[in-house]
Structure 1
Amino acid sequence: MMKKNAEILGLKVISITEGKELGVVKELVINPAGGTVAALVVDDGKWFYGAKVLPFMAIVGIGEYAVMVENSDNLASVAASPDIVSLLNVGVKVIGAKVLTKSGRIQGKIIEYTVDDAGKITACELELANGRGSAQLSSEYILTFGKDVIIVAEQDLA
């Protein structure tokens, strides 16, 4: 299963054992070290208690309608997830990030990305600089996921 960021955002999170809706996916939390989605931020409608996070590894499946989890115990408060808090503080947002080569050439900016079952970012779609259209960028070329910039190996995307 490969899913785009836009296909995951807004999905309902459903508990299999309880048969109930636990909330809606609001954000994907990126772990820049592994180039992975570490967790999903879930809005359960009780914002006054704080946001909830769902570790990516707790996901049973992602369909066109919902993100499926075993039960509501898979959701944790952000406050109880210090590793996720530190990733949120780093604040890597893949969408909108500029793409630069190691030598400093601008390639464009990320408009979408795809993740696999393990949460690994497998490819990014970028809008090429100078209005040259768009291109697919395989994650094997990505050297660094930064807060504002993604650094890639030298290659020609045109």
Structure 2
Amino acid sequence: MKKSNQFIGLPIISIMDGTEVGNVKSLVVNSAQGTVDFLTVEHEDWQISVRAVPFKKIVGVGEFAVTIEDRTSIFDLTEIPIANELVQKKISIAGAKMIDRKGQFIGEATEFFIDEENGSILGVAITTQNKEVVLASEQVITYGRDLLVVKEQAELKYLAKAEDLLKKDAEEEASEPETGFNAVKEMQFQRLAGRTVTKDIYTKSGSLLFANGTLLKKEDIQAAQEEGPSVLAELSMNVAG
């Protein structure tokens, strides 16, 4: 999970060439899907045309760079009508006023959080009259240019911090009915396998489960699943690659 502002300015690296091919200029939000579908690219040689990388073409989003396979992953917006249409809508989220569907003022969105694996918007940070909170994306009805509309009584669903979005996600996955259990486990394998742990992860009893730098394998993820949602959430928040 990353804040939207953590993308801005990141170098975009072509794995094939081993070169920097630009920087992330902005995020293009698909308001209908609640996703970030494209990253626009800034490059000193492209003064006239606007170019973008489809999120599905991104190999990885790290602390220091966004990686793509090669330069062919970058497109001119004239080649992608839907991207150009989304850019023109100028959905920024941060800075938008928030109301519920009854028209009651909620606060102002200050940031939003993205699943760097698929571009899904996980939640929104909100400044209300007396506190700062986080609201999960399923509580948002509409992402508008200047206004976000949320469900009634959304204030009952406030989370204290952004990390709770991942904890909530892991807990919901763990509580899925048995018929969907294998699919949930497979999704967790795909999300975590081959990634590197960035801090020591401990079991619920306090024993070391994974040391910082561990490259996760399927059996490692199974071990985390057996420890329960809280350990799995902690692992999910501390991986890279």
**Normalized against structure 2, the TM-score is what?**
0.62
Cross-structure match for 2:151: 153
C-alpha distance after superposition, 1:89-141 (max 9, x if no partner): 1221111111110101111111111111110100110111x3x1211010010
Cross-structure match for 1:22: 21
C-alpha distance after superposition, 1:18-67 (max 9, x if no partner): 10001010100000000000100110212324121000000000000000
User: Residue 137 of structure 2: which of 126, 139, 144 is its match?
Assistant: 139
Is the strand fraction higher in 1 or 2?
1
Unmatched segments (≥5 aa) in structure 1: none
Q: Supply the distance in 2 between the matched residues of 1:47 and 1:148 (Cα, whole angstroms).
A: 29
Q: Supply the distance in 1 between the matched residues of 2:47 and 2:64 (Cα, whole angstroms).
A: 26
Q: Secondary structure at the match of 1:26?
A: strand
Q: Supply the distance in 1 between the matched residues of 2:27 and 2:75 (Cα, whole angstroms).
A: 15
Is the helix fraction higher in 1 or 2?
2
**Normalized against structure 1, the TM-score is what?**
0.94
Unmatched segments (≥5 aa) in structure 2: 159-241
Q: Which runs of 4+ in 1 moved over 2 A?
A: none
Q: Does 2:98 correspond to 1:94?
A: no
Cross-structure match for 2:31: 32
Cross-structure match for 1:124: 124
Cross-structure match for 1:112: 111
Q: Secondary structure at the match of 1:22?
A: strand
Q: State the aligned residue count.
A: 155
Q: Secondary structure at the match of 1:48?
A: coil
Larger relative contact order (Cα-Cα within 8 Å, sequence gap ≥ 6): 1
Structure 2 counterpart of 1:104, which letter?
A: G
Is contact 1:22-1:72 (8 Å) kept? yes
Amino-acid identity (%)? 35
CA RMSD of aligned residues (A): 1.2
